[in-house]
Structure 1
Amino acid sequence: MIDLENDVIGQDARTRVVSQLETVMNKVNWEWHEAGIPVLRTRYIQFMNQERAVFLPISFLVAMSVLLFIFRQIKSILIPLIAISTTLIWVAGIMAHFEISINVVSYLTFNLLMIIGASNAIHLLMKYHEGLSLGLNQRDSLERVIQKIGGALFLTSFTTAVGFCSLGFTNIKVTQQFGLLVGFGVILMFILTIIIMPIILNYIRPPDNEHIDRLIRGGQFLAADRLNTWNQKHPRSIITISGILFIVALFGLFKIDYNASVLEDLKPGNPLYDDLQYVEQKMGGTLPLEVIIDTKSENGSLQPQFLSKILNYKEMILKTPEINTAVTPGDYLMLANEEWGDGIRQLPNSLNDALSFTVDFDRVQALLNEDYSKTRISCRISDLPFDRGMQIREDILLAGHKLFGENIDINVTGSTLLALSTGRHLVKNLTTSFFIAFIIIFLSIVFLFRSFRLSLLAILPNIIPLMIAGGLMGYLGIKLRPSTAMTFSIALGIAVDNTIHFLARFRQEYKLSGDYEKAVSETLVTTGKAIISTGVILSLGFFVLYFSEFVPNHEFGLLATIIIIAAVCGSLILLPVLILQIKPTLRFKTGITNILID
């Protein structure tokens, strides 16, 4: 058992101590197992840095590989890379300026911005090649890109930023910083992409006709054409299947378990997880639980009668199965009495004896306040879920009030209960932030498309993917913890991008033809290709996190991937069918909305 000094605060200080302990352990050929909150915090950050070093390059390779597969040109990789890298450098500089550290949440910043930036680049490059295929020259094609897709890219960046910035409504600093930072990074990515990429494309040789024909009219994206045909032939089947998925997902939502524990962030097989489990099984709990008793009188904690009651209270607490050890000032005072007093291991007989033993006894001092009016029972508890932790807290308080009466104040605290309460509180805040993001995004779509019915159609294909992910959480036993709750706000902002791109192009096509069926078909075989491409790059970028050793990141990657894939299907299958069935009225007016959409 090692106690750290009070000045060992922060990751750097803890890392130095842990490194020194590792040096000692490496010199002795024993079987060593680490446990305790300082070790847990230190190893968390170390594992996080290791994963960042692995997943950031993988995300980069995934993004570049998809771009190369789609465009088959090195310059189509290098140009987006310049815009993305510039944004990441800016974001890194902002983090340094505002002293935002890399933590268990913010280390995902660069991965997310990279795949979001790559998806923006795909839409821009697709529109650029489409203009060239229509016979436009290089400059006119780039102007068409800004006019036709600049507004849609702004809208999608705005909704994505809203999803991230909604995390700013939480009361947890690291989550607030992460949400606001990535939200700002998304808008910055849009600005730099829409400026840098057209400028570079204007000064390099345009792609040859062979590349343009392959990309626009080739067989690489037959899926978009087949979806168009399938949608026209099976509209009722699509609506029926969507309804069944909605109902099944709804039942799954009621099965979601939000009773998470502290150590569930680690997977079995992780060295830290295995060490903590070993120590719990062999030596009892490793997580701290503190019971503070306030006598409201100076030296009240050292009165012999009170010390005796504290020992009785300790025995009552130890009847809790999850609590394995508990230490009171009386335990140390009995040792002191045996060593320095009458030679018997028992409590001091008087207040003066207790005071004399306490003055230079650091372990006793650590369990008392300055005037000895408050005492602390320091316990070690096993890993447990929130509900059980709150039940134990209530049981301890009830037993204490029965023993001491109502005149004594008792507080049950410690980093274990704090972590459990913070997690539950954060889930509630993230749920609120999701609804705020949903309302903002919906109102934005209503304002920009000027059609309430069309906006309702736009939201529905994005609600079902979220419900599918939530239903799978219930059926698969994935608990609603801060990381999984955060997924829904983030994924909503990203998933709705596909719908906005689809509706923006549909509105343009309908304005030209005045025919719903023709406009939907043209949208599917043009913008549908870009939506499929961005869906691939986003889902693969998130799926990388599936292999994380941290359960929150693993679940975040899995759920985000499911939502993105389901959202692509919703935008390209369900949304076209709903438009053709309902035929919402479209309004075309001059002004800011006309500029943004058209």
Structure 2
Amino acid sequence: MIKWFSVGFWELIARIVLRNRILMLSIIAVITVLLALQWKNIQFSFTEANLLPDDNVVNSDYKTFLEKFGEEGNLIVVGVKDDAFFTPKAFAAWNKLMTDIKAQQEVDLVVSINDLKQLQKNDSLERFELVPFVNSNKTSSKQYLNSIKKDLFENMPFYEGLLFNKKSGSIRSAIYLDKKIVNTARRKDYIVNDFIPKINTFEQETGIDLRVSGMPYIRTLNAMSILSEISLFIGASLLLTSLIFFFFFRSFRATLIAILIVIIGVMWTFGLLGLFNYHITVLTALVPTLVIVIGIPNCIFLTNKYQQEYSAHGNKAKALQRVITKVGTATLMTNLTTAAGFATFIITSSQLLKEFGIISSLSIVSLFFLCLIVIPIYYSFQPVPKQKHLEHLNRNYTRVFIKWIEKTVKHNRRYVYIVTLILFLVSIMGALKIKTSGSLIEDMPKNTSFYKDILFFEKEFEGIMPLEITVDTKRKKGVMKLSTLSNMDELQQTIEDIPELSKPISILNLVKYSKQAYYNGNPAYYDLPTSQEQSFILGYAKNVAAKNNENLMKSYVDSTGQVARITTFMRDIGTGNMAKIEDKLWAKANEVFPKDRYTVIMTGKALVFEKGTQYLLDNLVSSLLFAVLLISLLMVFMFRSFKMVVVSLIPNLLPLVITAGLMGYFGIPLKPSTILVFSIAFGLSVDDTIHFLAQYRQELKHNNWKIKKSVFATIRESGISMFYTSVVLFVGFSVFMLSDFGGTIALGGLIAITLAFGMLSNLMLLPSLVLTLNKKLANKQDFIEPIIDIIEPSDEEIDDLEKNK
């Protein structure tokens, strides 16, 4: 049988690469330039991360809502809680601020106290009139402003929860952006270059601290934080991994070429993003750093092999060729298993995860070929390694570490199993404590002013994340039927009774306000009209709408009068709490709106994100099982031994269980960021297993199939490389802990911890299992010739191949 990626294949590749060095480098340069030209297509995502498949019913409902009512995440709120607000100077500055904001073409509507309108009954014309709530000629009087404050809080229940908090005295304005710009770059330009400077000017002039929030504002500043962290991660990971590389090899030349390779890899990653027209999201923003973290271990492995070969026979040309010939397949397989860990996200129906999986897996595979080609070519132009560059092969601290591992496996194998069992059981108990979280703002930077403002609005106005409910009456003008309004009133009362939700806004609020206005503004009459009152009160309301050529609540009823919209805002709550709130709302909605007469839909950004998180959780097990299956198939191809597949999986699944246990004990919830940990870490951890088992098979041949001798020879031979690469990966992923985003911190820390346990598991548990499961002398029948031969060929085998040509 002809093997895939045999010695002859890699010997051919080595000859092609080393005999056509200038051509190879030119091809890489051309690819780099072509991909760099694609950078112009790179854009940052101006929408929230949608984790659901496009055809999911939740997404379909949300799209239907947007088609009927337009973008719902266009509200910015500016709040203040300061007794100095109702003073002439501050109120004048506020009036100027709101007037300036209203004048901008990016702003659709501003609802603020300074230009508030109130309904007033005109009996002679039988209609309501909109009259100014504030007399601008009197705002220079502090006494007048105090009376306005009192009148607002006591007599304007229509605006309670929207513009003021009666209990605390906080005030806010509602600024509705043009819905057409909310998901475009114009939103960022307006908020950064126009809106924020105006806010800062007000604060400087008055000394009053303004609070600003709302989804457009939060998304803009959050996106800017993500972009700023891309350069931080790239710089920090490049610096730290390069320092570790230099510490290992003590060679500026080796370090510089490793840096150059990963920089080119990062350039290719950005080029792939542009080529596929993928946006930079919270996930794809991590890929350039992943390229550095994964690329440096590749450079370590290949550089280490080159120096080992040169140290063995002193022939530079032979050493360069055998770097490719000896470790080509093994390095390819380890990179493929790493890429497989990321590629598992491609099978999900979430576009966000698909893009992350495609870009990361392609970047990793392309990085492998980049390392395999550039490193041998680079060293072919360089002088031979000096003795000081080879000293790391026999450093004392690495020898001490490897001897300790060897001693433990040889004499204390039962303790390895006991510790493993204890860790497993304790971790399972911890894993059962894991909770889930599906919040839009939980992972946002906690030390930023905009996050603190979110907490302010949660406390004062019950949150800023919109939750939308639409009621389709299935007939034109059905919304204004008293029965429909009465049912909406019951549902809104349920909403008000839920502490995590804000006071709802709908056409019902205007109807109640109309009754209050009809009874000369008496707040005691802010209620739903009776059947006797309905006809003439709504008649007054229609007349005022016609006179002013506008509908005060046009965004809350569709053009046919058939569909009503109820908007509420929610606090930052987890997935479990959201489900409970949903159950309460659906129970009341199904009770008051029979399905044969009404169609009720619950949607909004908060709900879409929560359902997306739940979708990821539901697919966590399947995606992890797919990763295990995919990597197991690769192991079958490589070893063609069921025993080897079992031996390889156990040491790599244990670190995942330990990580899950730590998440449970330390209260780290399952959420979109931490869900990624398991597949990624598994794909990376398996690399050490492949290196170990490949070397083990080679040692078996050299030692007449004697297991003990082969196992300990493998530990001595592969242990150092496994230690080096694991340290780089640990430090590299730890860079993500510099982030201000909780999810990124958790992702980096958990993967780093998992890989640390993975290294120890592969160095101690793996050889222990090999020794236990093979108590007798091994024979060739236990090791069928694999389809993919990842065993490093011996010098004699390569010499025989070259002689036969």
Instruction: Compute the TM-score of the two structures, normalised by the length of structure 1.
Output: 0.95
Contact between 2:250 and 2:388, CA under 8 Å: does it hold in 1?
A: no
Q: Where do 5+ consecutive residues of structure 1 fail to align?
A: none
2:740 counterpart residue number: 549
Question: Larger deviation: 71-80 or 345-354?
Answer: 345-354
In 2, Cα distance between the equivalents of 1:11 and 1:430? 32
Question: Larger deviation: 106-115 or 542-551?
Answer: 542-551
- Of residues 366, 370, 377, the one that matches 1:192 is 370
For the pair 1:301 / 2:492, whether they are aligned, the reply is no
* Structure 1 position 153, deviation (Å): 0.6
Which string of whole-angstrom CA distances, capped at 9 and with x for unpartnered residues, describes residues 286-332 of structure 1?
22111211111101112344334433432232111112211111323
Which string of whole-angstrom CA distances, capped at 9 and with x for unpartnered residues, describes residues 456-499 of structure 1?
11111111111100011111111011211111001110111011
Question: Larger deviation: 305-314 or 319-328?
Answer: 305-314
1:474 counterpart residue number: 664
* Structure 1 position 566, deviation (Å): 0.4
2:386 counterpart residue number: 208
- Of residues 245, 252, 269, the one that matches 1:74 is 252
Question: Larger deviation: 184-193 or 581-590?
Answer: 581-590
For the pair 1:129 / 2:318, whether they are aligned, the reply is no
Contact between 2:651 and 2:762, CA under 8 Å: does it hold in 1?
A: yes
Aligned ranges for residues 95-494 of structure 1 at < 5 Å? 95-212=273-390, 214-222=391-399, 223-266=401-444, 268-335=446-513, 349=535, 355-357=542-544, 360-406=549-595, 407-494=597-684
Which string of whole-angstrom CA distances, capped at 9 and with x for unpartnered residues, describes residues 489-521 of structure 1?
011101110111111111111111122222222
In 1, Cα distance between the equivalents of 2:566 and 2:788? 64
* Structure 1 position 147, deviation (Å): 2.3
* Structure 1 position 533, deviation (Å): 0.6
Which string of whole-angstrom CA distances, capped at 9 and with x for unpartnered residues, describes residues 156-178 of structure 1?
11101110010112222122101
In 2, Cα distance between the equivalents of 1:132 and 1:218? 17
- Of residues 677, 702, 714, the one that matches 1:523 is 714
**CA separation of 1:585 and 1:276: change in aligned 2, threshold 3 A:** farther
In 2, Cα distance between the equivalents of 1:467 and 1:287? 35
In 1, Cα distance between the equivalents of 2:182 and 2:340? 35
2:763 counterpart residue number: 572
SS at match of 1:171: coil
**CA separation of 1:596 and 1:380: change in aligned 2, threshold 3 A:** same
* Structure 1 position 588, deviation (Å): 5.4
Contact between 1:333 and 1:358, CA under 8 Å: does it hold in 2?
A: no
* Structure 1 position 389, deviation (Å): 1.6
Instruction: Compute the TM-score of the two structures, normalised by the length of structure 2.
Output: 0.71
Q: Which amino acid aligns with 1:265?
A: D
Contact between 2:299 and 2:371, CA under 8 Å: does it hold in 1?
A: yes
Q: Which amino acid aligns with 2:573?
A: L
Q: Who wins on radius of gyration, i.e. which is larger?
A: 2
* Structure 1 position 338, deviation (Å): 6.9
**CA separation of 1:591 and 1:454: change in aligned 2, threshold 3 A:** closer
Contact between 1:318 and 1:324, CA under 8 Å: does it hold in 2?
A: yes
2:137 counterpart residue number: none
In 1, Cα distance between the equivalents of 2:519 and 2:661? 67
**CA separation of 1:302 and 1:361: change in aligned 2, threshold 3 A:** farther
Q: Which amino acid aligns with 1:433?
A: S
Contact between 2:500 and 2:570, CA under 8 Å: does it hold in 1?
A: yes
Q: Which amino acid aligns with 2:472?
A: D
Contact between 1:461 and 1:575, CA under 8 Å: does it hold in 2?
A: yes
Q: Which amino acid aligns with 1:227?
A: I
CA RMSD of aligned residues (A): 2.1
Contact between 1:337 and 1:357, CA under 8 Å: does it hold in 2?
A: no
In 1, Cα distance between the equivalents of 2:707 and 2:510? 83
Q: Which amino acid aligns with 1:539?
A: F
Question: Larger deviation: 587-596 or 527-536?
Answer: 587-596
Q: Which amino acid aligns with 2:660?
A: G
In 2, Cα distance between the equivalents of 1:241 and 1:596? 31
- Of residues 506, 509, 529, the one that matches 2:696 is 506
**CA separation of 1:146 and 1:323: change in aligned 2, threshold 3 A:** same
1:6 counterpart residue number: 179
SS at match of 2:613: helix
SS at match of 1:28: helix
Question: Larger deviation: 571-580 or 387-396?
Answer: 387-396
Q: Which amino acid aligns with 2:178?
A: E
Contact between 2:329 and 2:789, CA under 8 Å: does it hold in 1?
A: no
In 2, Cα distance between the equivalents of 1:470 and 1:498? 21
Q: Which amino acid aligns with 2:535?
A: N
Contact between 1:451 and 1:585, CA under 8 Å: does it hold in 2?
A: no
1:26 counterpart residue number: 200
In 1, Cα distance between the equivalents of 2:791 and 2:475? 70
In 2, Cα distance between the equivalents of 1:12 and 1:362? 30
SS at match of 2:467: strand
- Of residues 590, 593, 596, the one that matches 2:788 is 593
SS at match of 1:258: coil
Q: Which amino acid aligns with 2:195?
A: L
SS at match of 1:326: coil
Q: Which amino acid aligns with 1:249?
A: S
Contact between 1:457 and 1:579, CA under 8 Å: does it hold in 2?
A: yes
* Structure 1 position 336, deviation (Å): 5.8
* Structure 1 position 220, deviation (Å): 4.3
In 2, Cα distance between the equivalents of 1:555 and 1:595? 35
Question: Larger deviation: 262-271 or 224-233?
Answer: 262-271
For the pair 1:581 / 2:776, whether they are aligned, the reply is no
| Number of residue pairs aligned between Structure 1 and Structure 2 | 596
**CA separation of 1:115 and 1:318: change in aligned 2, threshold 3 A:** same
* Structure 1 position 148, deviation (Å): 2.0
* Structure 1 position 589, deviation (Å): 5.8
In 2, Cα distance between the equivalents of 1:101 and 1:260? 22
Q: Which amino acid aligns with 2:719?
A: G
Q: Where do 5+ consecutive residues of structure 2 fail to align?
A: 1-173, 794-805
In 2, Cα distance between the equivalents of 1:409 and 1:211? 74
Question: Larger deviation: 494-503 or 42-51?
Answer: 42-51
In 2, Cα distance between the equivalents of 1:595 and 1:247? 35
1:40 counterpart residue number: 218
Identity %: 27
* Structure 1 position 136, deviation (Å): 4.1
In 1, Cα distance between the equivalents of 2:616 and 2:415? 40
* Structure 1 position 381, deviation (Å): 1.8
Contact between 1:505 and 1:527, CA under 8 Å: does it hold in 2?
A: yes
Contact between 2:637 and 2:786, CA under 8 Å: does it hold in 1?
A: no
SS at match of 1:323: coil
* Structure 1 position 27, deviation (Å): 0.7
**CA separation of 1:43 and 1:585: change in aligned 2, threshold 3 A:** farther
SS at match of 1:395: helix
**CA separation of 1:231 and 1:7: change in aligned 2, threshold 3 A:** same
**CA separation of 1:591 and 1:398: change in aligned 2, threshold 3 A:** closer
